[in-house]
């Protein structure tokens, strides 16, 4: 069998195997379409009133969303509406007075009560005092039922803080005999709507969804959680009733507090692929630069002066082999050479006169000078060292 036939058989065998696998795959599986509920993106991810704003605009109503209350930029008109979705404790005294003054001129203010887990002292707000509203303690024991023809029974205001108010002061009330969850209060030419909670105005019911999201459950994107809020027909009808006083007459301002996750928490939970290696590199660099307890290797040898070592070795060699007279003669000659340069008169003298002149100049005794200038006896190492020491001392003093 030649190479061409062998290659053809290999090709046909590969084609046969591929055909069998393709037939098995096509016979076992079929193409199917599947719809997945994607998480919200862009503004819809952080604006809980995004769906309400878009619905109002689609109905021809002017609606604006803002993260915070800015009365100077909003320039409220008598027929406008303001919905405060956030905690009313964030309202300052000047803003509360300005809002009530605007309501007296025909505005419509919608706000909710503070969270039910707060103390009574923190819940005393100027705007509630002006409206004669008394807040209840804790969460309610039951929900309010909303019955809509053609729709299943719906529960509302299950968690918000209820309140007490004079029935004669309200044009519309909803609640039980003990407390109320909703009230419409005429105030001047305008109205104030007070609600126990505003969860029905959100894009969707995010309580159970947020609980599963914190646990990291894969069911968080299930269509089961894409319900509640304005997705329910009863909630849409209730929202339309809440916005009724100035609906279509002016601009509806939707003030929400963007509940974005903490930056540090986001960096810790999602940025660890970047900061963890950087932290390890920083720790390794700090460890490499840290002073250690004792050297890990011997200290490097110092610079060697080869000429000085050579001279010292030569002197030790001469002294060891009995040539100390040569070393003494060299040292004596070095002293006399400097003496001729520094004290030529003393160098010109001879014998005791020279020793006396040198002793007077160097503050030494003449006997020491005479001893230093006389060669020591052979093999008298102590006398040799004394004379060399005196010659070096006298030479350095010149």
Q: Looking at residue 381, what is its pLDDT? A: 83
Q: What is the pLDDT of residue 149?
A: 86
Q: What pLDDT score does 378 carry?
A: 81
Neighbours of 150 (CB within 10 A): 5
Q: Residue 4 is inside which H or E element, if any? A: helix 3-28
Measure the CA–CA gap between 224 and 243, rounded to whole angstroms: 29
Residue 77 token pair: 């008109």
Dihedral (Cα; 146, 147, 149, 152), 10-degree rounding: 90
Q: Are strands 190-195 and 108-112 parallel, antiparallel or unpaired?
A: parallel
**pLDDT value of residue 208:** 47
- pLDDT, residue 307, reads 74
- At 375 the three-state DSSP class reads coil
d(CA 391, CA 338): 11
Per-position DSSP letters for 174-220, written without gaps between them: EE-SS-EEEEEEEETTEEEEEES--GGGSSS--HHHHHHHHHT-GGG
Distance CA 357, CA 345 (A): 9
Quick one: pLDDT at residue 221? 47
Overall pTM > 0.85: no
Given a contact cutoff of 8 angstroms between Cβ atoms, the answer to whether 132 and 192 are in contact is: no
Evaluate whether 68 touches 102 at the Cβ level (below 8 Å). Answer: no
Dihedral of the CA atoms 242, 247, 251, 257 (nearest 10)? Answer: 10
pLDDT digits (tens), the chain, 398 positions? 677 888 888 889 999 999 999 999 988 888 888 887 777 788 888 888 999 999 999 999 999 999 888 898 999 999 999 999 988 888 888 999 999 999 999 999 999 998 876 555 555 688 888 888 888 887 888 888 888 888 888 888 888 888 888 888 888 888 877 788 899 999 999 999 999 988 888 887 655 445 444 444 444 444 444 456 788 888 888 899 999 999 989 999 999 875 556 778 878 888 899 999 999 999 999 888 877 666 666 766 766 667 777 878 888 888 888 888 888 888 889 989 998 998 888 888 888 898 899 888 888 888 888 888 888 888 888 888 888 899 888 888 88
* Cβ atoms of residues 174 and 189 within 8 Å: no
Length of the chain: 398
pLDDT of residue 223: 47
Q: What is the DSSP letter of 107?
A: -
The pLDDT of residue 289: 83
pLDDT confidence of residue 39: 76
């Amino acid at each position: 069998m030649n190479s061409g036939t062998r290659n053809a058989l290999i090709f046909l065998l590969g084609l046969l195997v591929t055909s069998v696998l393709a037939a098995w795959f096509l016979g076992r599986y079929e193409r199917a379409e599947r719809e997945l509920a994607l998480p919200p993106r862009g503004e819809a991810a952080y604006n809980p009133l995004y769906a309400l704003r878009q619905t109002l605009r689609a109905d021809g109503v002017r609606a604006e969303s803002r993260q915070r209350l800015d009365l100077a930029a909003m320039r409220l008109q008598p027929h406008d509406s303001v919905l405060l979705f956030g905690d009313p404790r964030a309202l300052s005294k000047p803003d509360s007075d300005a809002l009530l003054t605007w309501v007296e001129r025909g505005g419509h203010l919608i706000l909710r009560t503070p969270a039910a887990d707060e103390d009574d002292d923190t819940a005393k707000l100027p705007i509630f005092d002006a409206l004669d509203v008394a807040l209840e303690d804790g969460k309610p024991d039951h929900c309010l039922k909303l019955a809509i023809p053609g729709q299943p029974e719906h529960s509302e205001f299950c968690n918000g803080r209820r309140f007490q108010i004079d029935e004669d002061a309200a044009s519309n009330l909803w609640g039980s005999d003990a407390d109320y969850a909703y009230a419409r209060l005429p105030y001047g030419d305008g109205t104030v709507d007070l609600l126990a909670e505003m969860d029905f105005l959100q894009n969707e019911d995010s309580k159970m969804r947020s609980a599963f999201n914190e646990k990291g459950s894969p069911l968080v994107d299930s269509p089961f959680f894409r319900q509640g809020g304005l997705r329910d027909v009863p909630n849409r009808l209730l929202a339309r009733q809440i916005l009724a006083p100035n609906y279509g007459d002016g601009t509806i301002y939707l003030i929400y507090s963007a509940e974005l996750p903490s930056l540090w928490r986001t960096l810790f939970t999602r940025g660890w692929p970047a900061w963890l290696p950087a932290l390890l590199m920083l720790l390794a660099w700090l460890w490499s630069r840290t002073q250690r307890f004792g050297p890990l290797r011997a200290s490097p040898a110092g610079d060697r002066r080869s000429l000085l070592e050579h001279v010292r070795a030569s002197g030790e060699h001469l002294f060891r082999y009995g040539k100390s007279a040569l070393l003494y003669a060299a040292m004596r000659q070095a002293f006399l050479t400097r003496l001729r340069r520094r004290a030529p008169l003393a160098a010109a003298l001879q014998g005791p006169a020279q020793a006396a002149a040198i002793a007077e100049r160097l503050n030494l005794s003449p006997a020491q000078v005479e001893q230093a200038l006389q060669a020591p006896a052979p093999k008298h190492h102590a006398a040799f060292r004394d004379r060399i020491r005196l010659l070096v001392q006298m030479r350095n003093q010149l």
